[in-house]
Amino acid sequence: MWADLENIASHVEWMEDAVSIRFRGHQRRGVGTEFDCITKVGPVRLTDLMQITEWRANHTMGVRHIGLVRGAGRFRLRRARGGRTRFSWEERLVFPWWLGGPVGGIVGAPVLRRIWRQNLRNLAARFS
């Protein structure tokens, strides 16, 4: 599973809201990697500038959103019973005023949860 996560460019293959990824510079993995992700949720399309802030191979990838939407996220892999892997995804976002700021975050949370659940199903399907 880590191979799919560390290949940041491939995230558009399983993330419903990620349209495209364009790296800033030559770095493609590890702390300091920066990229623009064109994100689309319903009629809203924006460029999300992201920077990898944490990288523990086969375990954790942390990201900071430093574009119009701000915040942080983290993918984490843990061993589970039966030789399985448990994947967790945390995300905390702050929306700009023109997307409703804190109120937009509350209103948009159910939509984002639905999209992210589908993203998780898409990722899981890559391993079945």
> What's the pLDDT tens digit per position in 71-112?
999 999 999 999 888 999 999 999 888 888 888 888 888 999
Q: Is the pLDDT of residue 33 over 90?
A: yes
Q: What is the mean pLDDT of residues 21-27?
A: 97
- 26: confidence class by pLDDT, cuts 50, 70, 90: very high
Q: 95 is written with which tokens?
A: 């929306």
Percentage of residues in the chain with pLDDT exceeding 90? 76
- Domains of the chain by start residue, with CATH: 2-125 (3.30.530.20)
* For range 14-18, the mean pLDDT: 96
Q: How far is Cα 38 from Cα 68, in angstroms, rounded to an integer? A: 11
CB contact set of 37 (below 8 Å; sequence gap of 6+): 11, 18, 19, 20, 21, 47, 48, 49, 50
CB half-sphere exposure, 33, CA atoms < 13 A = 21
Q: What is the mean pLDDT of the chain?
A: 93
Please check the confidence at residue 128 and state whether its pLDDT lies above 90: no
**Which string of DSSP letters, residue by residue, matches 87-112?**
EEEEEEEE--GGGTHHHHHHHHHHHH
Q: Which of the four pLDDT bands, split at 50, 70 and 90, describes residue 68?
A: confident
The amino acid present at 123, given as its one-letter code, is L
Query: pLDDT grade, residue 9 (50/70/90)?
Result: very high
Q: What is the pLDDT of residue 127?
A: 84
pLDDT in tens, 39-59: 999 898 999 999 999 999 999
